[in-house]
Amino acid sequence: MMKERLLLKSETVPVIPNHVRFEFNEVRKEWVLLAPERALYPDKIAIEVLKKCDGKISIQLIGEDLAKKYKAPVEKIIEDIINMLQDLADKGFLKEC
Amino acid sequence: MLKKLKAPLAILAELSHRCPLSCAYCSNPVELVEKNKELDTDDWLRVIDEAADLGIHQIHFSGGEPTARKDLEQMVEHAHKRKLYTNLITSAVLLSRERLEKLKKLGLEHVQVSFQDSEKENANRIGNFKGGHEKKLEVAKWVRELGMPLTINAVMHRQNLHHLEDMIKMSVDLDADRLEVANVQYYGWALKNRAAFMPTKDQLESSMEIVEKARKDLKGILVIDYVLPDYYAKRPKSCMGGWGRQFLNISPEGKVLPCHAAETIKSFNFDNVKDKSLAWIWENSEPFNKFRGTDWMPSPCKTCDRREIDWGGCRCQALALTGDIGAVDPTCEFSPLHEKIFGSATEESSSEAPEFIYRLLSNKEVEPVKK
Ligand code: SF4
């Protein structure tokens, strides 16, 4: 069976798969997303989003959290999160729980 | 801790030049490091510590063939303990399932398997290894069964580019995450066989179309990395993300190089991990500093708006093709030699492909590692 592209929606519960590591490098003092032959440095907002991709909460809830924190419209935040995470999902750096 | 520079991101550990295959396009240096000159286990474990202390993220175990080393397990285990992301770049023909499983348990996070072609006969002819292709397919399946991500590395050229579509299909069938379509790099052994490998312009045009289409159709299923071969490009690629900026490469005997091909530069003395720490070498080694940044650049590069994108291209290539290591990479249109070199390369590809010269090694003592 061929695998299918994961299309993120607001109810998707995203999780970082086992073979990808999202961690704080103590020597460099920066967050990094480590994947096969890739190292990505997420920006401040992306770091907050990725910290919440723990396989427990949906994109909807992540968005609501951030909307409260930044006093921004929920729909817009969710749209931004989906765009950002879809790109990671397409590279295989994010899964659905 | 480093005083003035950012630490490299990744380290390519060439554990051994020994390899069971003898690809005619091998990019290893023409003079290979013999087994008795290879770094020992303790040296490598110390290098791994030094890399972790520098904040390096990833370690790629490569070769030759890294599985020819019986202590690969120890290195993977140690690297994982020190939180380096571990990757094995292998031809796969020496691996048993038990060994792969053990490596995974010890912390191996990703495997890259090289393929010479999608078609058995041609693949085994190019690698000059009977049964190699079948074994690779088997190992690739094991990688996925064990739940590790898989990259297929396919070196494509004139004699197999017509199988590109099959190669993509093979990668999907193997449930690979990524396909890296590499073009033969013409230094090391490969330069001897350039005429046999140089793709034709038609081949390249259709390969670009195939890749574009597959990228669309397979979005979210297979990532395809593909770089246009240098000889047909108008601007150089950024080699290693810039000389001495992101990567360092350690040869089997411990020389620290800015890139895998840098030993072709005979005028340099590369520092060895046996004499100096990685941190010291990264900051102070003469070859690293020589072409780091933009100060060294020749005139068209110095003022070019791409100077911090391609960092002036590839030094090894500049040397191999122009004789001057400080010259503009002749891949670049602004190189005074671009026309001449571009012309001769494409001419080679329009005449009939000669037989290739196999790489036969005297130090070919690799057996599968028994447990
Ligand atoms: S002139 Fe130099 S910097 Fe500009 S594109 Fe060519 S190689 Fe790159």
B199-227: per-residue pLDDT in tens?
A: 777 888 888 899 999 999 999 999 998 87
Mean pLDDT of chain A: 92
- B340: CA distance to ligand 1 center in Å? 17
Read off the pLDDT of each residue in A71-97 and give the average, rounded to a whole number: 92
Read off the pLDDT of each residue in B316-340 and give the average, rounded to a whole number: 86
**B17-46 per-position pLDDT tens digit:** 877 766 666 666 656 667 788 999 999 999
Pocket flag, ligand 1, residue B306 (CB < 6 Å)? yes
Listed in sequence order, the residues at least 6 apart from A68 whose beta carbon sits closer than 8 Å to its beta carbon are none
* CB-based contact, B58 to chain A, within 8 Å: yes
Pocket flag, ligand 1, residue B332 (CB < 6 Å)? yes
* CB-based contact, A23 to chain B, within 8 Å: yes
Judged by CB atoms closer than 8 Å, whether chains meet at B221 and A5 is answered as: yes
ipTM of this complex: 0.88
Secondary structure (H, E, C), chain B? CCCCCCCCCEEEEEEECCCCCCCCCCCCCCCCCCHHHCCCHHHHHHHHHHHHHHCCCEEEEEECCHHHCCCHHHHHHHHHHCCCEEEEEECCCCCCHHHHHHHHHCCCCEEEEEECCCCHHHHHHHHCCCCHHHHHHHHHHHHHHCCCCEEEEEEECCCCHHHHHHHHHHHHHCCCCEEEEEECCCCHHHHHHHHHHCCCHHHHHHHHHHHHHHHHHCCCCCEEEECCCHHHCCCCCCHHHCCCCCEEEECCCCEEECCCCHHHCCCCCCCECCCCCHHHHHHHCHHHHHCCCCCCCCHHHHCCCCCCCCCCCCHHHHHHHHCCCCCCCCCCCCCCCHHHHHHHHHHHHHCCCCCCCCCCCCCCCCCCCCC
Chain A residues inside the 8 Å CB shell of B7:
27-28
pTM of the model: 0.87
* CB-based contact, A1 to chain B, within 8 Å: no
Query: Is pLDDT at B363 greater than 80 in this prediction?
Result: no
Residue closest to B272 by CA, chosen among B289, B292, B249, B293: B249
Read off the pLDDT of each residue in B195-200 and give the average, rounded to a whole number: 74
- B235: CA distance to ligand 1 center in Å? 7
Judged by CB atoms closer than 8 Å, whether chains meet at B85 and A90 is answered as: no
Mean pLDDT of chain B: 84
The per-residue pLDDT for B81 is 97
The per-residue pLDDT for B171 is 96
Among B230, B306, B315, B335, residue to substitute to test ligand 1 (most atoms within 8 Å of Cβ): B306
Of A15-19, B22-26, B40-44, B278-282, the one with minimum mean pLDDT is B22-26
Residue closest to B284 by CA, chosen among B275, B294, B266, B271: B271
The per-residue pLDDT for B356 is 47
